[in-house]
Amino acid sequence: MLAGVATGSHPGMTAPPPLIQPLPVPPPNSRGHLTQPLSEHVDSEHFCVTWEPEDTTEEVALRTLEALEQAWSILVERDGWDPPLSSDNWLLSTMLDPSLDGTGFTGQYTDQGTGVVYPYIWINPEYEDLTNFFESLAAHEFNHALQWRKRPYINGWEEAWYWEASAEWGAELALPENNAYAVQAYYYAQHPEYRYSSTLDYHQYGMFLVNAFLEEYRTGPGGMHQVWELGEDYPEKTWEKLITEIAGEPLDTFWPSLTSSIAHNDLEESHLYEQPVQAGRLEDGVGDSLDFLGTHYWKVPTDTWVESTGEVVLGSLSGTGNPIKVQSGSWLTVSGLADGPTPYSLWFSEPVDTGGVDTGEESPAVGCACTSAPNTKTLGWGILLITSLLQRRKHPLLGAQRKNPAPPDIS
């Protein structure tokens, strides 16, 4: 996962890897090395993994290659993502470097001499003993190489969160039996009240839940890819507009349906996800404040109807609406619609005619069952080149209390 953008502490991170000059012609029917490998390297059909002998082993490099090729097979060949720039003729370089201040980085560079644009991946081999995480890390970073082709990272402060949310979901798509992605739900669950685009406390990693809901309940497989395709055509649009356009519904119904699915464990792998923290016990007249698409999860003590004041939307097992019917023992979700922290209050009410929005029946969007020590370093945002940013992937177990115990090899 990526938790920031920064200049690294080692030479490879302070300047893009050098192109081989002059550029050689790749051998027929194969790809060549666009950048200069380190002392050791192993190649596959699409990737070159390179390292210094004191840093890691060939066995780790081969595991990295296997995960990268699996991600290529699923995302490019099966799902139709455009391959990274320059990868038609050149191997995508991946450096194993234990001096990384983080778990992985991906950047895209433009060589000032030749104009060639190429991505580059760094992975920290110190995490290779966390087998599932390490493989998921490789797939996650490859997702970023795909994303660089679609859309500029320097696109305003609302941009970064969906890169991380998509790279996490993309790692799940590429390695569906791995499931290392799931623990990232912790970073949403601890602060669901944060603005949807927040990158505080690694919130953006847990936002893969948006893509899970989108594909499981709205678009079917490929929904996230459709969002990125649309985002390539409309780089000025923020992600929530692109997502709801692909979902085919307005934000004020999509978001409460999403949050109610999260609350009621209605996503396919909800059993692997951390449950969002409870805002409190629902009482008549209770209130709080929320930023744009931040959400509070209220536990419902009795069967009743609830209405709200303030710029918020409500979700429950019965659907969406205001007023909305809620059931004892279930959850009411409240999400902000205003751009900036805005107060709201909740009141018990009598049943009213809501124009068919809330029927009192379970909505098909919700309520249906579908089939290491913390590293507290933070990275400052920085630009390496005008077209180059590097991002850090977040370790899955940093501060997280897993819903299910970690397997022995990553406990």
User: Does residue 199 form part of some domain?
Assistant: yes
pLDDT one-digit tens code per residue, 131-156: 999 999 999 999 999 999 999 887 67
Q: Do residues 17 and 138 both lie within one domain?
A: yes
Q: Do residues 179 and 249 both lie within one domain?
A: yes
pLDDT at position 363 over 90: no
What is the residue range of 185's domain? 174-272
Q: Give yes or no for a contact between 370 and 84, defined as CB atoms under 8 angstroms apart.
A: no
pLDDT at position 13 over 60: no
- Strand order across the 324-326 sheet: 287-290, 342-349, 304-309, 324-326
Q: Give yes or no for a contact between 298 and 193, defined as CB atoms under 8 angstroms apart.
A: no
User: Does residue 355 form part of some domain?
Assistant: no
Q: By three-state DSSP, how is residue 227 classified?
A: helix
Q: Which helix (H) or strand (E) holds 110?
A: strand 104-110
Residues 60-79 as b or e (16 or more Cβ within 10 Å = b): bbebbbebbbbbbebbbeeb
The rounded distance, in Å, linking the Cα atoms of 146 and 224 is: 13
Q: Do residues 27 and 112 both lie within one domain?
A: yes
For the chain, what is the total number of helices (H) and then of strands (E)?
Answer: 10, 15
**What are 213's two structure tokens?**
């809901």
Q: How far is the CA of 187 from the CAs of 5, 283, 286, 397, in angstroms? A: 18, 27, 26, 10
pLDDT one-digit tens code per residue, 88-119: 889 999 999 999 988 999 988 888 877 888 89
Return the percentage of the chain with pLDDT > 70, whole number. 79
pTM for this model (two decimals): 0.83
Q: Do residues 69 and 123 both lie within one domain?
A: yes
Q: By three-state DSSP, how is residue 118 classified?
A: strand
User: Does residue 201 form part of some domain?
Assistant: yes
